[in-house]
Amino acid sequence: MGEVSHDKIKDCCSPTRINIEKQQQQQPTMDMQQQPTMDMQCMEIPMGMEVHKVVPPPYRSTFRKLLARLKETFFPDDPLYQFKGQPPKKKWILGAQYVFPILEWGPNYSFKLLKSDIISGVTIASLAIPQGISYAKLANLPPIVGLYSSFVPPLLYAVLGSSKDLAVGPVSIASLIMGSMLMQEVSPSKDPSLYLQLAFTSTFLSGILQASLGLLRLGFIIDFISKATLLGFMAGAAVIVSLQQLKSLLGIEHFTKKMAIVPVLSSVFHERKEWSWQTILMGVCFLVLLLIARHVSLKKPKLFWVSAGAPLVSVILSTVIVFAFKADRHGISVIGELQKGLNPPSWNMLVFHGSHLALAIKTGIVTGIIALTEGIAVGRTFANIREYRVDGNKEMIAIGIMNVVGSTTSCYITTGSFSRSAVNHNAGAKTAVSNIVMSVTVMVTLLFLMPLFHYTPNVILGAIIVTAVVGLIDVPAAYHIWKIDKYDFLVLICAFLGVIFISVQHGLAIAVGISVFKVLLQVTRPRTVVLGNIPGTDVFRDLHQYKESAVSVPGFLIILIEASINFANTTYLNERISRWIEEEDDGNKVSNIRFVVIDMSAVSTIDTTGITLFADIRKSIRKKGIKLVLVNPLAEVMDKLQKVNNGGEEFMLYLSVGEAVASLSMGMKNNHASSNSNTYDEEMQTVANGAP
């Protein structure tokens, strides 16, 4: 806000006038010469008191202000800072490293790091293969598509991503959303070709959206999905996903396509005749095995390999059992034949016309935002643990390109998986090479091992999904939110109930809507408090919070506004301040208040309506003999106050509440003493004139 200057009063016999410093006399442009000056009203200052001048901010043209605002909005991390002062060759190198992070750590890669990455890569591959097949089934896609999606995207992320721990591939929530949204209009069983086309098209559109958000530096948009919203949404989705797996765990063939809890449970009990005891027995046994393995790894993180390897071991054991006992002939359904070979191209399956284009766009937007939010949240979680930085915009671009390219190579929506990333981290991954190792392992599986999955029972895929999504229900985190903020907990509950009782997308929309309403409520109803003085100090605090130590100052109403002032909240602020004045007057015709002091230390921005607010308040309270005082206006506020006061009445400005109260109190005392002196002189003159 510029340098703070001050004057000390040395003459105790006469008051001193303190004025704000004038604008610099010699300005280089006509705009500078037209800048108004703002003088502080005359104040009575006691001897020895220090009063600081409220200095206006340095002049900046409108263009420079706009540039500064754009920079803070879109480039808060200042990505070009590293290029300053560098020779051209170094700038090219830094630019290449910024676009391809692998070039930054690749030259220093060692064999020791490779050993750790190979171990972690093979470990997460053992989890990615069964999960990939399972999540593809969750999205109502052919199982092979899940393996395709675990091959190409990890290779791209290893080159473009900035996280050392993130393991990418299909995830349960995005798979569920895609499956539930596409199935509303297209049946995956009656028209599988169209369904697959829409899945790839929506993945392509998701990637375009994700990469665009990163390139345009619009990542703050995903911040509207708060932690409470995400927790409630994921918990609700986990419940729905688990209930959907009852189809596989019970051996039901005719199952509802709806995702709400009521129709799912109705379908389960309505189709009791289709329940298969063989399927139930196998499902319960392997589900218990997987849950025990997960519990062991949670209790002892060093045994991470137990939960990481359990899904693949379960797939192998169940496949052997089905093959050995011909269980597929006794009511246990199997995956069937899977095509060998690497990802076939699918750019010819992308459709950008027809009656279902709107569905693909809607699905792409919703799945893209959810996948992006989950991926960045997982990456930042492990980056904080290992104390390195993940660039959110780079992650958006990497995940976006990953999905754009993936959609042309028979992959559906992918992002960072929390379960696989946790295994990757615990297995000792050092760099993104672990994703490359995982991808190579999946490639070997696609080329040579696909016939082995022919007899893999669908029930084991359901058990794997249930085990994976159970971890999304974070009860301790929900309880923590309940203790801290009841409104956030309400958002969490709305998201949870909306997902399980209505639908996945509607539950998310309800939760986001409530979160946005909370933000709007905070904007339109900013927190305002009345301040009192801590006796013996010049410190002023909230009278309600410090009711035992702070006391109100006679003749003053001191108000702190803790938010920016704009057109959305000026009416509320005007009414709130007027009500406080009426409460202080308590119905008296003559007001007890002499000054309304507004502390603007927390008002970072103000618009035209906000400036008008102060003029209206000053005009309305002047009728009651009250003056308006503004304290510590920040740079932007001060700049606009100067402009609105050009040629008009200036506001009374002080640098701190303490200085305002002390100097104005002394002025009130001096005025009172002067009034008493004048009354005494008049009485003596009357006596001298012989009046009775």
Helix/strand/coil (H/E/C) assignment for every residue in 571-633: HHHHHHHHHHHHHHHCCCCCCCCCEEEEECCCCCCECHHHHHHHHHHHHHHHCCCCEEEEECC
Q: 536 with 600, same domain?
A: yes
Predicted pLDDT of residue 538: 85
The yes-or-no verdict on residue 526 having pLDDT over 80 is yes
Alpha-carbon 329 to chain mean position: 51
Percent of the chain beyond pLDDT 90?
32
Predicted pLDDT of residue 23: 36
Q: 108 with 183, same domain?
A: yes
Predicted pLDDT of residue 34: 36
Report the chain's terminal Cα–Cα distance, integer Å.
Answer: 62
In sequence order, which residues have a C-beta less than 8 Å from that of residue 153 and are 6 or more positions away? 168, 169, 402, 403, 405, 406, 411, 414
Q: Which residues pair with 652 in a beta bridge?
A: 629
The yes-or-no verdict on residue 7 having pLDDT over 70 is no
What is the gyration radius of the CA atoms in the chain, in angstroms?
Answer: 34
How large is the average pLDDT for residues 631-653? 80
Band of pLDDT at residue 38, cut at 50, 70 and 90: very low
Q: Retrieve residue 632's tokens.
A: 């510590």
Q: Measure Cα distances from 387 to 324, 374, 380, 383, 474 in Å.
A: 50, 20, 10, 6, 24
Q: 369 with 235, same domain?
A: yes
Q: 467 with 502, same domain?
A: yes
Q: 505 with 541, same domain?
A: no
Last residue of a domain, one of 481, 501, 518: 518
b/e per residue, 27-43, with b = 16+ CB within 10 A?
eeeeeeeebeebebbeb
Alpha-carbon 315 to chain mean position: 38
Mind listing the pLDDT tens digit for each residue in 117-168? 999 999 899 888 998 998 998 899 999 999 999 999 999 999 999 899 999 9
Q: 563 with 427, same domain?
A: no
Q: 380 with 313, same domain?
A: yes
Task: Confirm whether 51 is domain-assigned.
Answer: no
Taking the model in full, what pTM does it have?
A: 0.77
How large is the average pLDDT for residues 46-74? 73
Q: 223 with 150, same domain?
A: yes
Candidates 366, 398, 369, 417; CA nearest to 169 is 417
Band of pLDDT at residue 584, cut at 50, 70 and 90: confident
Last residue of a domain, one of 479, 498, 518: 518
Whole-number Å distance between alpha carbons of 313 and 125: 12
Predicted pLDDT of residue 673: 59
Q: 371 with 352, same domain?
A: yes
Domain harbouring 600, CATH code = 3.30.750.24
Q: How confident is the prediction for the chain on average, in pLDDT?
A: 83
Domain that holds residue 422: 104-518
Whole-number Å distance between alpha carbons of 40 and 323: 92
How large is the average pLDDT for residues 79-99? 83
Task: Confirm whether 18 is domain-assigned.
Answer: no
Q: 510 with 558, same domain?
A: no
Best-predicted range by mean pLDDT (11-25, 237-251, 439-453): 439-453
Percent of the chain beyond pLDDT 70?
88
Band of pLDDT at residue 98, cut at 50, 70 and 90: confident
Predicted pLDDT of residue 73: 73
User: Could you tell me if residue 78 is left (phi over 0), alpha (psi between -120 and 50 degrees) or otherwise beta?
Assistant: left
- Structural domain tally of the chain? 2
How large is the average pLDDT for residues 62-77? 76
Q: 495 with 547, same domain?
A: no
Task: Confirm whether 198 is domain-assigned.
Answer: yes
The yes-or-no verdict on residue 8 having pLDDT over 90 is no
Task: Confirm whether 251 is domain-assigned.
Answer: yes
Q: Which residues pair with 558 in a beta bridge?
A: 597
Q: Retrieve residue 419's tokens.
A: 């379960």
Length of the chain: 692
Task: Confirm whether 477 is domain-assigned.
Answer: yes
Task: Confirm whether 86 is domain-assigned.
Answer: no
Least confident of 45-54, 88-97, 655-664: 45-54
- Cβ of 244: how many Cβ atoms within 10 Å? 24
Whole-number Å distance between alpha carbons of 41 and 633: 16
The yes-or-no verdict on residue 647 having pLDDT over 70 is no
Q: 510 with 571, same domain?
A: no
